[in-house]
Structure 1
Amino acid sequence: MAGKAGASLTRAQLVIMEPPAKVGARPGGRLASVKFQFNPNSLSLTKNVEWRRRPSRMAGQTAVPEFVGSGPRTLSVEVFLDATATHDNSVENRVEQLLLACVPTKKSRAKKKPASPWVRFEWGTAKTTSFDGVLSNLSVDYSLFDVDGKPLRARCGLSIEEAGSDVPGQNPTSGSREARRTHRVVAGDSLPELAWREYGDATAWRVIAEANDIDDPMSLAPGVELLVPAVEEVR
């Protein structure tokens, strides 16, 4: 970790926001801003692109890859917390702030549509690492304790998965996302993956499952034709 951030340094922070009210909407109001005591020394950014190939019968040749879609960005960052350098008597308060991003918000529970907050990592003018997403993983390693057992130091690992709020692109076969369409299952398909490609929300797989009377979203028989509801049916 870098040295302690002084007044002249731009501090990194994690912004915690209400989840969007509907698919395609922007995140809601700010719930909290967790300022980091120390700026990270490094950030890990990954992004996957999915391609599909059909087996080629011609020896020595390979099939032309078919572009399936672009996956979300994932940002991994490690945060160092130290209560010995502040007036706090424990790092648990800051850990609890981070844990807020892992549980449904009060507002979403009140609407009987529980959803965890969206988050955004902010550090100065950085753009590639600052995007709206969800906290997909949080790990906490306590390393120093007071005589009464209170944790004084901790390293927190955060993984933020991009959750773009742009309206999903058009279906090239129909020219519109308003009408229902069908999808023929191929090996490796799953409903969460299909829901992500169609609606930009992997948790919307239940809409497709209900439309096709599917019990197991991870077990799909290749060749089966699925009915894919329109976007407005997800809202």
Structure 2
Amino acid sequence: MDSAYVAFYPDAAFPGAAGAVGAFARLAVACGVRHLVLLADRGAAEAERCEQAVRDSGAEWTIVRAGFITQNFSEGFLAELVRAGVVALPAGDVAEPFTDAADIAEVAVAALSENGHAGRIHDVTGPRLITFADAVGEIARATRREVRYLPVTPEQFVSSLTGRGVPVEYATHLTGLLVEVFDGRRASTTDTVERVLGRPARDFTEYVRETAATGIWDADT
């Protein structure tokens, strides 16, 4: 194996990610891997430590940074919140360049399979900034349902997650990450998708239209 894609679950910004990524990177290099492509969380301190661990491994490296992934709205607890009609998050009115998972995947594949990506940071974003209120509004219009965004405190968010059966440790770490990155530091877009893939980044509206047609956001019965 010459190259490896490195992604930490549940997120490169979670505590302990840098240690695990560093250990994996060193093992990979010892086994002959020459190029590591890391998926990192855009703007998070622990993710930056993951990036440094990969750089220090001795392998050629490429960093693929991504922020809030568009598909989060149709997976897990966020899909449940959309179906329930109230999307409560500790994100205030911050704007985010929601990034489509397909764009992230294709940039990562290019970095793994093509020349010219070593030593580069690919900061992947969507084509425009959107507030969570605007994003939820688009979902509401596409589904023709009443769905609203509700900004909440970190404590309220932890309680809402644990009330839905999410483990306390995960809920606490996730909330800490959201509070960290939803302070405006990611409120910018890049041309990475167009530069690497030769096409525009996928817009949030396209995702909403296609996802609404699947029925995944239909109200709970």
Does TM, normalized by the shorter one, top 0.5? Answer: no
Q: Which has the higher strand share?
A: 1
Q: Which has the higher helix share?
A: 2
Higher RCO (CA 8 Å, separation ≥ 6 residues): 2
Structure of higher CA gyration radius? 1
TM-score range, shorter chain: under 0.3
TM-score by length of 1: 0.22
